[in-house]
């Protein structure tokens, strides 16, 4: 890679991460997930311009679109089959879904140097959200704080609101087609579009898989849809936020490799990892420990 492109990548990554300590761009996947669902992932104008410049440079360098990896297709097919065989649940409208994770985020600029980032220690994160209506107040419990997750329903949306691909409820996920081609077409039509199409498709599917609960057939369809995205690769060795080893499928965008990690033997989902490709440093880590339905926000399942 030539020096000018390396410098452009470095500037793009720095500008994307320097503007928010709570959700530093591509580095902070789990916290960005909530931010995306509530504020549509608000990039600064400078960060968006940097991302566009880097994407253009990479396109010029790499030429035509990446091909579909046979290894990724094979692995995602096996993962999808496992997901489809998981037990389903009959869910009423009153519950909330509950997800407990351990997470570690990249924090940037807290010492006055916006270009300096470090990975904080892993900590527990718990989230409660309505299974059918984003207008119902949810709850995020993290770092000793309880944070209300208020819906940002705009004037064109009416309650109850079951969400969309960027802010799904369980009822929305239930409604998705299970044909992977139709599902990917739907995602492409509705996604926010902050990245080039393949990377944004991968990001959107990852958000729906990570901090939500989808019916087994829909989970399988999401993995099969991911297998259709050019540029998805396999990472043979990856570790989640609590040290569980696994195998991952990944997509690289703007110098950051986003990885979905799975248990090597059971192929069940473990968590996510973000790697800065230039130096191999970790930008973010998550590990999902529990998913359940509960009767009210704040309730801890057995």
- Whether the pLDDT of residue 282 is over 90: the answer is yes
Task: Give the mean pLDDT of 142-152.
Answer: 87
Q: What is the pLDDT of residue 118?
A: 83
Task: Give the mean pLDDT of 157-173.
Answer: 91
- Whether the pLDDT of residue 53 is over 70: the answer is no
Q: Which residue has tokens 């440093």?
A: 281
- Whether the pLDDT of residue 110 is over 90: the answer is no
- Whether the pLDDT of residue 185 is over 60: the answer is yes
Percent of the chain with pLDDT over 90: 64
Check if the beta carbon of residue 261 is closer than 8 Å to that of residue 250.
no
Bridge partner list, 139: 128, 148
The more confident residue out of 135 and 157 is: 135
Check if the beta carbon of residue 211 is closer than 8 Å to that of residue 99.
yes
Q: What is the pLDDT of residue 196?
A: 81
């Amino acid at each position: 890679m030539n020096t000018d492109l390396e410098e452009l990548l470095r500037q793009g990554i720095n500008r994307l991460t320097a503007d928010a300590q709570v959700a530093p761009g591509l580095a902070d996947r789990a916290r960005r997930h909530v931010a995306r669902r509530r504020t549509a992932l608000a990039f600064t104008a400078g960060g968006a311009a940097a991302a566009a410049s880097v994407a253009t440079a990479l396109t010029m360098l790499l030429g035509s679109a990446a091909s579909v990896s046979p290894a990724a297709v094979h692995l995602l097919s096996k993962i999808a089959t496992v997901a489809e065989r998981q037990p389903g649940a009959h869910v009423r409208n009153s519950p909330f879904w509950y997800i407990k994770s351990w997470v570690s985020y990249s924090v940037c600029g807290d010492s006055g140097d916006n270009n300096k980032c470090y990975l904080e220690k892993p900590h527990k994160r718990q989230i409660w959200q309505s299974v059918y209506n984003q207008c119902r107040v949810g709850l995020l419990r993290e770092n000793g704080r309880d944070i209300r997750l208020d819906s940002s329903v705009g004037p064109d949306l009416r309650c109850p609101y079951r969400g969309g691909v960027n802010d799904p409820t369980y009822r929305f996920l239930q409604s998705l087609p299970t044909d992977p081609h139709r599902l990917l077409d739907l995602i492409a039509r509705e996604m926010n579009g902050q990245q080039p199409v393949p990377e944004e498709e991968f990001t959107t599917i990852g958000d729906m898989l990570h901090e939500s609960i989808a019916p087994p057939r829909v989970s399988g369809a999401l993995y099969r849809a991911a297998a259709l995205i050019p540029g998805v690769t396999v990472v043979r060795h990856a570790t989640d936020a609590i040290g569980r080893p696994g195998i991952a499928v990944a997509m690289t965008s703007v110098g950051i490799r986003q990885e979905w990690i799975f248990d090597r033997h059971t192929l069940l989902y473990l968590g996510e990892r973000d790697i800065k490709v230039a130096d191999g440093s970790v930008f973010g880590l998550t590990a999902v420990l529990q998913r359940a339905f509960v009767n009210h926000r704040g309730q801890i399942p057995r």
